[in-house]
Amino acid sequence: MISIQHVCKTYPGGAQALTDICLDIADGDIFGIIGMSGAGKSTLVRTINLLERPTEGKVVVDGQDVTALHGADLRTYRRRVAMIFQSFGLLAQKTVLDNVCFPYVAANGKVSTQDREHALELLERVGLREKASSYPSQLSGGQQQRVAIARALACNPEVILCDEATSALDPKSTNTILKLLRDINRETGVTIVVITHSMDVVEKICNNVAVLEDGCVVEQGSVADVFANPQADATKVLLGKVDWDA
């Protein structure tokens, strides 16, 4: 369970990015956080792995207040929480296999034979074992994102954070990535948090959703309920249920 409790984030100069955010994300869920640009989605998801520290409030994971962690304890926690970015984040001068192995280097300072075998198994899982010796520039955007997913799985995370992971992809590649994430969730039970501005992505993959506007949660619930009966104006806009000529 990830419990976000009264989280606020204020940047130097007074810009308020998040205001009193309260969310509970169950183990094994695929949870969507959606909103327009500037709503605070990326800031919120980065509080889960402490890339952004809340100004107020706390993030509790499996009963532990992770906002209190520092040093080695924080590094250990972050290995439990993988992140997939819109821009893929691959190392251009490293092969696909070396990119997938990078978390082992970060954690242990080296890559063992067993690590490389595991990395090849992960590339097989995402359908790219034959690309192990290729470089990111030789891959399509969808293929690069699949490599990023394999890398995210390298340390057997308990949580995967997807920050606009499909927004740079064409519809076919988007569907491939979403199916892959759904299958990984079903097979491993990993919790997935999906940050997106696309209701289509939420509808295809998520079980529950929270809608953000101006750094606040304005609506949350099951995807079925929110789609069937949206309450907040921001949700209606995202769903296209507004009269643009009014």
For 87-129, what is each residue's pLDDT tens digit?
778 889 999 999 999 988 887 888 899 999 999 999 999 999 9
Q: Which amino acid is at 129?
A: R
Q: Which residues contact 20 (CB under 8 A, 6 or more apart)?
A: 6, 7, 8, 57, 216
Domain ranges of the chain: 2-238
Specify the CATH number of the domain 2-238: 3.40.50.300
Helix (H) or strand (E) holding 161: strand 159-163
Name the pTM for this structure: 0.91
Q: What is the pLDDT of residue 246?
A: 45
Compute the residue count for the chain. Answer: 246
Categorize the per-residue pLDDT at 209 as very low, low, confident or very high, splitting at 50, 70 and 90.
Answer: very high
